Structure 1
Amino acid sequence: MDFHPTEEQAAAAGLAARIFRDLATHERLAAAGTGSDADLWKALTAAGLIAAVPDVGLLGLVLLLEEQGRTTAQVPYAATCAYGMLPLAAHGSPEQRARLLPALESGEAVATGAFPARGRITAEGGRLTGPAPAVPWLREATHVLVPDRDRGLWLVRTDAPGVRTSPVETTAPWSAGTLTLAGAEAERIGGARAHDAVLAAARTAFAGLQAGVCAGSLARAVEYTSTREQFGRPLSTNQGVMLRAADAYMDTEAIRVTAYEAAWRIDEGLPAHEHVLTAAWWASEAGKRVVHAGQHLHGGMGADLDHPVHRHFLWGRQLDAYLGCGSELLAELGASIAEGERA
């Protein structure tokens, strides 16, 4: 693959980095609690960073989500792009795109997805029934992309009859909720292959988000250990600290490069199922190692729940759980490889 982003992708990522760096400060993040930072959301939409996602592709989105992850910016950017903009742009009908995309681009609408579904939702005559626990950003969402047990994809409005949402707290402050559907009216998105395509893109996107979370955690640890002195010298000069930071750096780069490769292959229309699972595995398994290391390298400060590095720890652990634990992803990857060898 070509690891050099296009001019458009680089420009979008640079703009996102400036907005997140300027507005996703520790003070604003603390004030947002589990909800969105409305001013930051407006800044992202005004800059066209939601509308640009179909143009920059999945690899471009991974680059953008890296920048969100570096600051753990408190907005439903990943969910809206992965479960709203990309699925509608790729699988929506012309009428659906014309009706739904403008509201997502302007930030008036917020999308999320009831993934992983675990086969809980049934569809009959365009109406959905069943529960979906811990849907990220559900309390902010106007639309939810819901997979049924037959792997169909449906879009549900959160204010529609038969839709009930209730708050639920997750490890990271993602404004999550439980979605309960009781004969809720929904509209079909895409055909038979849309489910697998959306799941692959979402896994890759959230792996990119984890790469940013880990990079931000490591950057904070490097800054702290370079300035914090013990016995008259910086902590960073201790061999144990250097080795722990080096391992975290290698893990972060592995998450990044596997997410880039999976995204690039999807954008190019190449087979990517196993590459997506590899990226998700690295993001889950290595991601939690990195955020634990980032917290540990802060010593006692890392145990402070109000310290900025603790947010990276919470986001990293949440993404680990959301992507699926390493053993689950490894089992799915092994099954895919074995099936390919039998074919």
Structure 2
Amino acid sequence: MDFTPTPEQEAARELAARIFGDLSTPERLAGLDGGTDAELWKALGTAGLAAAVEETGLLGLVLMLEEQGRTTAQVPFAASCVYGLLAVAAHGTAEQRERLLPGLRDGSAVATGAFPGRTGIMVSAPDGGSARAELTGVVPWVPWLRDAGQVLVAVREKVAHSLWMVRAADARCEPVELTAPWSAGRLVLDGTPAERIGGPGAYEDVLAAARTAFAGLQAGVCAGSLARAVEYTNQREQFGRPLAAKQGVQLRAAEAHMDVEAIRVTAYEAAWRRDAGLGHRSHALTAAWWASEAGKRVVHTGQHLHGGMGADLDHPVHRHFLWGRQLDGYLGCGSEVLEELGELIAAGAHEGGESA
């Protein structure tokens, strides 16, 4: 395994870091009031970063999402790339790719996903075929739904999951508030027309890619939180010495650093394996477990090391805390993904034995 970024992946990461760093400042974030940063989203599309994911792969996306997480930039980059661009590119028909991918590449269209498949959605195919159907049911919350034109819905059928793309305009989208400032919504489907995306194995692949991508985002969120804590404890003095000189502070920061590296390397491995066409489901679950369990430890440490300032809801470190806790439970909390990983291992479908 070699996680060294290719020149194309490194260039994409550097460009993403520059755009996120320039536009996603604490001052701009404070004025968004939970909405999407339209100017930043347009800049990402103009720079071709979404389109670059087709060339740089999931690992390239993870690298760019790390940079987003460092600044907690409010754009649906992860959702649109995973549930839209990568899902359609890997599992869509030729007609679906030709119709859907251009807008997803340039950012003029946004996609999101109603995942995982515990949504209670019912599917019916009145035309007797399997390519189109009608969906009925409610998904309590979907990230970035208020920005999306397309929603990839996971449906649990008799023995497996299937994926269906619906137009947001054909459904009812009701605003909801989350812990993190994502423009989420409640998705209400009532005989909503849908088209199938992919066949057997598509759900498992997209879910694994999503878990890997959001683990990469969590690595950036945690790295940003820790960086703020390190800066603060080096500047803040107590009894004539920086807080960073205290052994207890150093130990907390060191433990957080190791947690960040664990999230990062497991996300890199899962992404690299998917790009290489190797089995990656168990690795995606491992990355998701670290993102959940270690992620919440790190963002709690980030707040704690800020002392009283960490209790300020307007302080930038609090945004990292909110994002970290939201990502902690998204697509399965630590105990849930650990149970799923155990079932996968027991079934003998892990590492070399699992399907790519």
TM-score, structure 2 length as denominator? 0.94
Corresponding residue for residue 137 of structure 2: 130
The answer to which of 108-117 and 199-208 deviates more is: 108-117
By how many angstroms is 1:273 displaced? Answer: 1.5
Partner of 1:208: 216
Structure 1: any 5+ residue segments left out of the alignment?
Answer: none
Q: Which amino acid aligns with 1:30?
A: A
Residue equivalent to 2:253: 245
1:262 to 270, 273, 284: 270
Secondary structure of 2:50 counterpart: coil
Unaligned runs of at least 5 residues, structure 2: 126-132
Deviation of 1:301 after TM superposition, in Å, equals 0.3
Whether 2:328 is the aligned partner of 1:323: answer no
Residue aligning to 1:296: 304
Q: Which residue of 1 aligns with 2:44?
A: 44
Note if contact 1:117-1:132 (Cα within 8 Å) is conserved in structure 2. Answer: no
- Partner Cα distance (2:106, 2:162) in 1: 27
**Percent same amino acid at aligned positions?**
71
Deviations along 1:192-242, one digit per CA (max 9) or x if unpaired, are 111111000000000000000000000000000011100001000000000
Which is further off, 151-160 or 10-19?
151-160
Matches within 5 A, 1:141-156: 141-150=148-157, 151-156=161-166
**Which residue matches 1:104?**
104
Alignment match, 1:87:
87
Instruction: Tell me the SS of whatever aligns to 2:151.
Output: strand
- What is the aligned partner in structure 1 of residue 240 from structure 2? 232
Shift of 1:117: 2.8
Point out the more displaced range, 252-261 or 88-97.
88-97
Whether 1:20 aligns to 2:5 is no
The separation in 2 between residues aligned to 1:3 and 1:153, in whole angstroms, is 30
Counterpart in 1 of 2:283?
Answer: 275
Partners of 1:284 and 1:323 within 8 A in 2: no
The 5 Å alignment of 1:145-224 reads: 145-150=152-157, 151-160=161-170, 163-224=171-232
**Structure 2 residue identity aligned to 1:256:** R
Q: Secondary structure at the match of 2:330?
A: helix
Match of 1:117 in 2: 117
| Cα gap change, 1:341 to 1:195, in 2 (>3 Å) | closer
| Alignment-mate amino acid for residue 226 of structure 2 | L
Aligned residues: 341
Aligned partners of 1:310 and 1:301: how far apart in 2? Answer: 9
2:128 paired residue number: none
Matches of 2:321 and 2:240, distance apart in 1: 29
RMSD, aligned CA = 1.2
SS of alignment partner, residue 51 of structure 2: coil
What CA deviation, in whole Å up to 9, does each residue of 1:79-115 have, x standing for no partner?
Answer: 1011101001111111111111111122221110001
User: Which whole-Å deviations, capped at 9, do the CAs of 1:54-81 have from their partners, x for residues lacking one?
Assistant: 1110011000100000000011111101
Alpha-carbon distance in structure 2 between the residues aligned to 1:143 and 1:158: 5
Q: Report the TM-score, using the length of structure 1 for normalisation.
A: 0.98
- CA–CA distance in 1 between the matches of 2:197 and 2:189? 18
Partner AA of 1:104 in structure 2: L
| Deviation >3 Å, runs of 4+ | none
Give the C-alpha shift of residue 341 in structure 1. Answer: 8.3
Is the Cα contact below 8 Å between 1:62 and 1:205 reproduced in 2? yes
1:139 alignment partner, SS class: helix
What does 1:6-17 align with in structure 2 at a 5 Å threshold? 6-17=6-17
